[in-house]
Chain A
């Protein structure tokens, strides 16, 4: 299994500002994922952070709003830019790893999340 830490654990920000969330993994992984979980809702994938190439964004999410860096195989950052109250959510990163039902399947390990409140 992978151990994932995120910084900050929570923050309160003013609208129009930006916040960078860090995700650190205790082992090297090829792909990392960033999710958003709005209050009382399920998780929505924002993007896949690929090491050595640009992130792949899901429909409805754009690089200008959520720039992602992936400088190495154990670290990634997600920036929430020009924030508005609608960006108030929990942001989670995850990585794939072994533990699935077969050698060909994997599970995902999630960080504890960053709770962001935008005023």
Chain B
């Protein structure tokens, strides 16, 4: 499993766009990039997953450059309820594969 590096923490204000970048220099050809969100006192929740270019869903966008050595999770117009820890994971993501969580990024959204 590829090692990932994320900022330890980020601060933002309500209504702003937040971009969290994850470095994964040793990503393998068949690895996917997946982001999870964890609120206090809850288990992690899947946000988005991608392989290359750009993926968008109702929650976030994921930007992956051509070399795939990094990725950026973009949260549009954050609110106070987006305050959470965000984890970037890189791996095969096939059914049954275990997940290895890094330290994650603590996002604090202020009013």
How many whole Å from B43's CB to the nearest CB in chain A?
3
Instruction: Assess the B103–A42 pair: CB atoms within 8 A.
Output: yes
Instruction: Assess the A31–B96 pair: CB atoms within 8 A.
Output: yes
B:36-60 near A, CB below 8 Å: 41-46, 49-51, 55
Interface range on chain A (Cβ under 8 Å from partner):
20 to 34
Instruction: Assess the B49–A105 pair: CB atoms within 8 A.
Output: yes
A:76-119 near B, CB below 8 Å: 92, 94, 96, 99-102, 104-113, 115
| B34 to A, closest residue via Cβ | A107
Instruction: Assess the A100–B44 pair: CB atoms within 8 A.
Output: no
Instruction: Assess the B96–A30 pair: CB atoms within 8 A.
Output: yes
Instruction: Assess the A96–B32 pair: CB atoms within 8 A.
Output: no
Instruction: Assess the A108–B46 pair: CB atoms within 8 A.
Output: yes
Chain B residues near A105: list those with CB within 8 A.
32, 49, 92-94
Report if B99 contacts A (CB, 8 A). Answer: yes
Report if B100 contacts A (CB, 8 A). Answer: yes
**B contact residues, total (Cβ < 8 Å):** 26
**Also in contact, A100 and B43, with CB within 8 A (given A42-B104, A45-B98):** no
Select which of B42, B49, B101 is within 8 A of A100 by beta carbon: B49
Chain B 51-71 near chain A by CB (<8 Å), digits 1 or 0: 100010000000000000000
| B43 to A, closest residue via Cβ | A110
B:73-103 near A, CB below 8 Å: 87, 92-103
Instruction: Assess the B99–A45 pair: CB atoms within 8 A.
Output: yes
Instruction: Assess the B102–A106 pair: CB atoms within 8 A.
Output: no
Chain A residues near B49: list those with CB within 8 A.
99-101, 105, 107
Instruction: Assess the B43–A111 pair: CB atoms within 8 A.
Output: yes
| B30 to A, closest residue via Cβ | A104
Chain B residues near A107: list those with CB within 8 A.
34, 46, 49, 93
Interface residues of B (CB under 8 A from A): 32, 34, 41-46, 49-51, 55, 87, 92-104
Can you add 13 more A-B contacts, CB < 8 Å, to A48-B98, A110-B45?
Answer: A30-B95, A96-B96, A99-B46, A99-B49, A101-B32, A101-B51, A104-B94, A105-B49, A106-B94, A106-B97, A108-B44, A110-B42, A113-B41
